[in-house]
Amino acid sequence: MAEAQKPHPDIERILIPEEDVRRRIQELAREISRDYAGRTPMLVGVLKGCILFLSELIKEIELDCSVDFICLASYTGTNSSGVVRMLLDLRDSAQGRDMLVIEDIVDTGLTIGYLMQNLQTRGPRTVEVCTLLDKPECRKIGIQPKYVGFRIPNDFVVGFGLDYNERYRNLPYIGVLKPSAIASRKGS
Ligand code: 5GP
């Protein structure tokens, strides 16, 4: 029998264990493979939070697809600045492509709203969003991703690619960070 996961000392509780994350990603991949059958979607990973989600997802997608990346900066620490900057742009043309944006989490929706608007100007055939996590309570704009792994409450989470000031991305589960871990790193 598998041993129970011991959380990192800065984690208050595991919100979604590793097996559940992996199982749900397999389901999303099946859904995407069905919906895009006969097409060659362009998966657009939003760095850096997408890294683990995207790498698990593409292994399970049974289609020809391409992968490209975009890097956006929208947050410092745990608070939304509401300001989105593009740090790295796509290498491939989006013209006529079926684009599927791969996000770690949609919170206020400001980041994905900005990205959707930006991608729409590049002449794609379709643009959809697939996010591992969704915090619908926090939405500031009316945007609903087509594919959602898990709807979660308004807690600050880390792990499975999600960071807090560049830490915790390598945790294999989604966990809620202890308030003390947030407080102790403010301004550091
Ligand atoms: P939004 O623009 O939708 O408010 O935020 C999107 C970005 O904020 C995500 O791509 C992620 O980088 C960051 N973010 C929002 N909520 C959380 C959270 O609970 N944990 C972490 N680690 N990042 C978050």
| Residue whose CA is at the smallest distance from ligand 1 atom 9 | 105
Residue type at 130 in one-letter notation = C
CA of 116 to the centre of ligand 1 (A): 16
Domain borders along the chain are 18-155
Residue type at 39 in one-letter notation = R
Looking at ligand 1, which atom is closest to the CA of residue 155? 19
Higher pLDDT, 3 or 45: 45
- Ligand 1 near 131 CB (within 6 A): no
Does the predicted TM-score (pTM) go above 0.85?
yes
Count CA atoms closer than 13 A to 176's CA, side-chain side: 9
Instruction: Answer yes or no: CATH 1.10.357.10 is held by domain 18-155.
Output: no
Measure the CA angle with vertex 59, ends 19 and 131; round to 5°.
65
pLDDT at 41: 98
Q: Which residues pair with 148 in a beta bridge?
A: 131
pLDDT at 106: 95
Measured between alpha carbons, how far is 15 from 152 in angstroms, rounded to an integer? 9
Q: What is the pLDDT of residues 108-118, one digit of tens each?
A: 998 999 999 99
| Residue whose CA is at the smallest distance from ligand 1 atom 5 | 107
Residue type at 82 in one-letter notation = G
- Can you read off the two tokens belonging to residue 179? 């308030």
Looking at ligand 1, which atom is closest to the CA of residue 135? 16
155 noted as active-site residue: no
Q: Which residues contact 151 (CB under 8 A, 6 or more apart)?
A: 133, 134, 135, 136
State yes or no: cis peptide before 48, omega within 30 of 0. Answer: yes
Measured between alpha carbons, how far is 56 from 50 in angstroms, rounded to an integer? 10
Of residues 172, 124, 158, the one with CA closest to residue 49: 158
Contact yes or no for 150/132 (Cβ under 8 A): yes
Which of 6-20, 117-131, 171-185 is predicted least confidently? 171-185
Question: Considering 10, 104, 107, 134, which one is annotated as catalytic?
Answer: 107
CA of 157 to the centre of ligand 1 (A): 9
Measured between alpha carbons, how far is 140 from 82 in angstroms, rounded to an integer? 10
Q: How many residues does the chain have?
A: 188
pLDDT at 68: 97
Q: What is the pLDDT of residues 25-69, one digit of tens each?
A: 999 999 999 999 999 999 999 999 999 999 999 999 999 999 999
State the pLDDT confidence band at 184, using cuts at 50, 70 and 90: low
CA of 176 to the centre of ligand 1 (A): 13
Looking at ligand 1, which atom is closest to the CA of residue 140? 4
Measured between alpha carbons, how far is 173 from 54 in angstroms, rounded to an integer? 15
CA of 28 to the centre of ligand 1 (A): 20
pLDDT at 3 over 60: no
pLDDT at 179 over 60: yes
